[in-house]
């Protein structure tokens, strides 16, 4: 990966960095100067890549104005929405006295989809979802399980235990999370870690689904009943996850999960807490449609 912490770089190197990011499914934002007025440090067409850690390749001017671009780019990375940033290069943002319009767009399009668990269901979700508008990250505490996913195009991996996850998880403004680890107890530990990250960051996953049977769903609800924040989130998540397709095989289960995630994220299915249903009963209503 080419990173130069704000120095200008050859245009070919920048485009190669973009191509490498796209092939890996690595998040980032491309900032392009699209218009200038009066005196400015860069001309229209100047580009800069902003990475998820705030480092950059290329430059759109440097100084406080570029710091503002990086700040806005990280927000674009979170919500996936393109935007145009107008910079007035006088006063606090610079001394040139001119103005610049900078277009910010995600390097990799699609909705962030985190899968906790690199088992049969997790791998089936990746395979079936490869042609859908999702960007997958697989999380597991077993390095050997993640190693088996090396070379899977557009899939990122993160080795993490439940204890470490709250400090490693960045909750996206738009995104999905599937919890399908190898044991019921581990699912509970990971779910507690996700709730801790959501509470600390003040936002939650728009779609959070847990692979579960009805007995497992009841057991998980009992575990979190004493914590007001967690108990409320348990009412909101998709538990058990997946549309009722009478699914049996990993591929069929993956289909039911991906269809539900897309429907919820696009607003054609109500969130779990908006549905009047007892635990374990899958009742879906179309927004504006009949029950």
pLDDT at position 8 is 46
CB atoms within 10 A of CB 241: 25
Q: Which helix (H) or strand (E) holds 166?
A: helix 165-168
Q: Note whether 201 and 221 are same-domain residues.
A: yes
Asked if residue 4 belongs to a domain, the reply is no
Q: Note whether 250 and 228 are same-domain residues.
A: yes
The string of pLDDT tens digits covering residues 149-175 is 887 777 889 999 999 999 999 888 778
If pLDDT is split at 50, 70 and 90, which confidence band does 271 have? Answer: low
Print the domain residue range for 42: 11-106
Of the three residues 75, 106, 137, the one that is the final residue of a domain is 106
pLDDT at position 10 is 64
Q: Note whether 189 and 71 are same-domain residues.
A: no
pLDDT at position 9 is 56
| Whole-number Cα distances in Å, 3 to 10, 20, 209, 230 | 12, 12, 36, 40
Q: Per mean pLDDT, which range of 37-46, 116-125, 253-262, 276-285 is the poorest?
A: 276-285
Q: Note whether 79 and 200 are same-domain residues.
A: no
Q: Is the dihedral of CA 232, 138, 22, 1 positive or negative?
A: positive
Asked if residue 62 belongs to a domain, the reply is yes
We report the CATH number of the domain holding residue 208 as 3.40.50.720
Closest CA to 261 of 247, 283, 243, 249: 243
pLDDT at position 282 is 43
Q: Note whether 31 and 134 are same-domain residues.
A: no
Q: Note whether 267 and 123 are same-domain residues.
A: yes
Mean pLDDT within 216-238 = 93
Of the three residues 106, 137, 155, the one that is the final residue of a domain is 106
pLDDT at position 270 is 58
- Asked whether the beta carbons of 87 and 100 are under 8 A apart, the reply is yes
pLDDT at position 174 is 78
pLDDT at position 278 is 42
- Asked whether the beta carbons of 281 and 218 are under 8 A apart, the reply is no
Q: Note whether 269 and 135 are same-domain residues.
A: yes
Asked if residue 290 belongs to a domain, the reply is no
Asked if residue 29 belongs to a domain, the reply is yes
Q: Note whether 120 and 183 are same-domain residues.
A: yes
Asked if residue 141 belongs to a domain, the reply is yes
pTM, entire model: 0.69
Q: Note whether 171 and 205 are same-domain residues.
A: yes
Long-range CB pairs of 43-47, under 8 A, 24+ apart, other chains included: 47/11, 47/14
């Amino acid at each position: 990966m080419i990173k130069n912490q704000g120095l200008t770089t050859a245009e070919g190197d920048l485009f190669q960095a973009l191509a490498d990011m796209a092939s890996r499914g690595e998040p980032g934002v491309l900032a392009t100067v699209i218009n200038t007025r009066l005196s400015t440090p860069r001309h229209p067409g100047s580009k800069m890549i902003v990475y998820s850690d705030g480092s950059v390749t290329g430059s759109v001017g440097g100084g406080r104005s570029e710091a503002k671009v990086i700040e806005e780019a990280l927000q674009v990375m979170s919500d996936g929405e393109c935007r145009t940033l107008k910079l007035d290069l006088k006063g606090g943002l610079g001394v040139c006295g001119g103005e610049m319009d900078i277009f910010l767009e995600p390097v990799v399009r699609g909705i962030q989809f985190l899968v906790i668990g690199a088992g049969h269901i997790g791998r089936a979700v990746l395979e079936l979802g490869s042609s859908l508008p999702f960007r997958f990250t697989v999380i597991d505490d077993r390095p050997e399980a993640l190693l088996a996913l090396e070379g899977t195009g557009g899939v990122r991996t993160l080795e993490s235990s439940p204890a470490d996850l709250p400090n490693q998880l960045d909750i996206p403004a738009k995104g999905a999370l599937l919890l399908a680890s190898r044991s019921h107890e581990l699912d509970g530990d990971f779910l507690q870690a996700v709730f801790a990250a959501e509470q600390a960051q003040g936002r939650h996953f728009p779609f959070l689904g847990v692979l579960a049977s009805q007995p497992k769903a009841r057991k998980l609800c009992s575990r979190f009943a004493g914590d007001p924040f967690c108990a409320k989130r348990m009412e909101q998540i998709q538990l058990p996850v997946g549309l009722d397709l009478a699914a049996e095989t990993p591929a069929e289960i993956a289909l039911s999960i991906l269809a539900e995630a897309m429907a919820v994220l696009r607003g054609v299915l109500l969130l779990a807490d908006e549905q009047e249903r007892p635990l374990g009963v899958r009742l879906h209503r179309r927004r504006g449609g009949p029950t």
